[in-house]
Amino acid sequence: MKILSAEQTRAADQATIQAANIRSDQLMERAATAFSEWLINHLSQNAASEVHLFCGPGNNGGDGLAVARQLHLSGYAVHVWLLPAATHSPDFIINRQRLPTAVPCVELVSKKFPTLAPRSIIVDALFGTGLSRPLEGLAAEVVQHLNSSETAVFAIDLPSGLFADAPQPPDSPVVRAQHTVGFELPKLAYLLPQNAQLVGTWEVLPIGLNKEFIHNAPVENYFVDTNFLVGRLPKRPKFAHKGTFGHALLLAGSFGKIGAAVLAARACLHGGVGLLTVRTPAVGYIILQTAVPEAMALTDPASDFITELPDLKSYAAVGIGPGLGQDPATVEVLRQLLQQAHEASLPLILDADALNLLGTHRELLDQLPPNTLLTPHPKEFERLTERAHNDYHRLELLRAFCRRHTCYCVLKGAYTALGTPEGLLYFNSTGNPGMGTGGSGDVLTGLLLALRADQRLSPLDAALLGIFAHGHAGDLAAQQTGEAGLIASDIVRFIGPALAGLER
């Protein structure tokens, strides 16, 4: 799915109105109906005594008024509270007129805000994508009042005060919603950690926005769901053999961290690689051969760290980093790997300590072969770049980093973001907080290595499929283990089922 800017969302509205030959108030009615149906469905499980709708002067307020009418006609006890304004949008005015007189509708007055009965709910329809500046004055007071009440808030399109695709100044008032319900496509604001307490859980409802407009809209951000990827993983041909799927080399582990190599190796095998060779320090030999008999062990002469780069000529892709440690000899291995992989156009994946080494030896960043895939968590990313002021800034750093180094970079977390050399960002939709557990990232590296070794996949598809399947495997595992009980090995067990759903 594409993520449109606030401006493009308005243009999509207009394109839909023209192409479908409908009036703008008819499109508003669609949006309001979708929201009302969602809310009624939601409330049937959590009975509410009263619904209080707080409506602003624009189309977000117009949506709120249409929802108020629909809920009233469905038998709900509804109260409308209007934010006074000098001007109102035409569709606000139409829906104000359509509001049945039986619905109490009152203008908000400073310091005389309504006290809400227990078990009532709030619908926040003050401001949506048309927010043009931070809230102040009466609007800010209303937001503070809503946030201080114990009542659950359901936001239409955006929690009021939050910009759809830009940061607001620190401490500017924003509604804290339990749920945010948007239309057709997700907004960038939904996906950022800094907005988690404001947006709450979210979903988007289809309202038939013009497909052609969306198809042609140039965007920098995508939201990757099942539909986006399904069919992108090639099936394994009948007469395929292990050579078809590539031979991967994994350099991982150090004394005390051979487990990281084991996890990445298992994930790589479950990711469908044809052959896997693992380079660990000598201390890892018996552990690896015992824990992962399917992998070949190519042990380093040194006991505790990797100190020598093996010959690379048989491999289709190389992954380096999980549990690697940061011994000076390992830096030289990384330096040689970057150089030789560049010469041989060998796909590379860099994770964990390989990234930390890049952070302390920044000159190596200029040696990254084109299309290298890096998988930092935010702290590792900071070591490669700089400290971000906020989540939007971090995403711009990611875009710039990928452009500058012609690389793919996976910024891990909830809604993991993949940056591409073109400066595009792809946000992943799968995964759960149970995956915040040691070794989850090693599993991702192994899986990505398998997909990069498969020559049938582009670098972009390999990365997107790997990130999505990793999160989905975590979700499948959590159904059995619960989130707290989830460990990285559980993710590995579900890689197969997660990939199967994506096959062509």
Ligand X SMILES: NC(=O)C1=CN([C@@H]2O[C@H](COP(=O)(O)OP(=O)(O)OC[C@H]3O[C@@H](n4cnc5c(N)ncnc54)[C@H](OP(=O)(O)O)[C@@H]3O)[C@@H](O)[C@H]2O)[C@@H](O)CC1
Ligand Y SMILES: Nc1ncnc2c1ncn2[C@@H]1O[C@H](COP(=O)(O)OP(=O)(O)O)[C@@H](O)[C@H]1O
Binding-site members for (6S)-NADPHX are: 59-63, 128-134, 157, 260, 323, 377, 442
Is 440 a binding residue for K ion by CB under 5 A? The answer is no
> Are the C-beta atoms of residues 423 and 472 closer than 8 Å to each other?
no
> Are the C-beta atoms of residues 68 and 78 closer than 8 Å to each other?
yes
Query: Of 316 and 443, which has the nearer Cβ to ligand Y?
Result: 443
Is 63 a binding residue for K ion by CB under 5 A? The answer is no
Binders of ligand X among residues 366 to 385 (CB under 6 A) are none
| Member of 144, 307, 432, 481 binding ligand Y (CB under 6 A) | 432
Helix (H, G, I), strand (E, B) or coil at 279: strand
CA distance 262 to 257: 9
Give the number of residues written for the chain: 504
Tell me how far the alpha carbon of residue 301 is from its chain's centroid: 41
CA distance 387 to 393: 9
Tell me which of ligand Y, K ion, ligand X, none is bound by residue 183, counting a contact when its beta carbon lies within the kind-specific cut-off of 5 to 8 angstroms: ligand X
Is 435 a binding residue for ligand X by CB under 6 A? The answer is no
Is 34 a binding residue for ligand X by CB under 6 A? The answer is no
Q: Give the shortest CB-65-to-K ion separation in angstroms.
A: 13
Half-sphere exposure in the Cβ direction for 202 (13 Å, CA): 28
Tell me which of ligand X, ligand Y, K ion, none is bound by residue 129, counting a contact when its beta carbon lies within the kind-specific cut-off of 5 to 8 angstroms: ligand X
Query: Of 436 and 501, which has the nearer Cβ to ligand Y?
Result: 436
Is 356 a binding residue for ligand X by CB under 6 A? The answer is no
Known binding positions: 59-63, 124, 128-134, 157, 160, 260, 323, 377, 412-416, 441-442
Q: Which one of the spans 89-97, 116-124, 153-161, 440-448 is the region binding ligand Y (CB under 6 A)?
A: 440-448
Q: Which one of the spans 27-35, 67-75, 328-336, 350-358 is the region binding ligand X (CB under 6 A)?
A: 27-35
Nearest residue (beta carbon) to ligand Y: 441
CA distance 232 to 237: 15
Q: Give the shortest CB-305-to-ligand Y separation in angstroms.
A: 18
Angle at 494 between CA 489 and CA 498, to 5 degrees: 140
Known binding positions for AMP: 412-416, 441
CA distance 95 to 482: 46
Q: Which one of the spans 129-137, 294-302, 425-433, 476-484 is the region binding ligand X (CB under 6 A)?
A: 129-137
Q: Give the shortest CB-156-to-ligand Y separation in angstroms.
A: 26
Q: Which one of the spans 17-25, 187-195, 304-312, 441-449 is the region binding ligand Y (CB under 6 A)?
A: 441-449
Question: DSSP labels for 450-493?
Answer: HHHH-TTS-HHHHHHHHHHHHHHHHHHHHHHH-TTT--HHHHHH
Q: Locate 151 and state its tokens.
A: 């009542």
Is 9 a binding residue for ligand X by CB under 6 A? The answer is yes
Query: Of 22 and 414, which has the nearer Cβ to ligand Y?
Result: 414
Is 277 a binding residue for ligand X by CB under 6 A? The answer is no
CA distance 293 to 279: 14
User: Which region holds residue 256: left if phi is over 0, alpha if psi is between -120 and 50, else beta?
Assistant: left
Is 13 a binding residue for ligand X by CB under 6 A? The answer is yes
Q: Give the shortest CB-434-to-ligand Y separation in angstroms.
A: 8
Is 292 a binding residue for ligand X by CB under 6 A? The answer is no
CA distance 448 to 459: 10
Is 475 a binding residue for ligand X by CB under 6 A? The answer is no
Edge-first strand listing for the sheet containing 78-82: 105-107, 78-82, 51-55, 121-125, 152-156, 179-183, 201-205
Binders of ligand X among residues 181 to 220 (CB under 6 A) are 183, 209
Q: Locate 132 and state its tokens.
A: 């043009």
What is the DSSP secondary structure assignment for residue 2, as one 8-state letter? B
Element spanning 310, H or E: none
Binders of K ion among residues 128 to 167 (CB under 5 A) are 128, 155-156, 160
CA distance 489 to 109: 57
| Member of 2, 128, 462, 495 binding ligand X (CB under 6 A) | 128
Query: Of 218 and 237, which has the nearer Cβ to ligand X?
Result: 218
Q: Give the shortest CB-473-to-ligand Y separation in angstroms.
A: 11
CA distance 63 to 409: 39
Is 168 a binding residue for ligand X by CB under 6 A? The answer is no
Q: How many residues bind ligand X (CB under 6 A)?
A: 29
Is 414 a binding residue for ligand Y by CB under 6 A? The answer is yes
Q: Locate 487 and state its tokens.
A: 């460990």
Query: Of 210 and 416, which has the nearer Cβ to ligand Y?
Result: 416
Amino acid (one-letter) located at 64:
G
Partners of residue 419 on adjacent β-strands: 409, 425
Question: DSSP labels for 210-265?
Answer: -HHHHHH---SEEEE-HHHHTT-BPPPPTT--GGGG-EEEEE---TT-HHHHHHHH
Residues that bind ligand Y (CB under 6 A): 377, 412-414, 416, 431-433, 435-436, 438-442, 444, 470-471
Residues that bind ligand X (CB under 6 A): 9, 12-13, 27-28, 31, 56-63, 89, 127-135, 139, 156-157, 183, 209
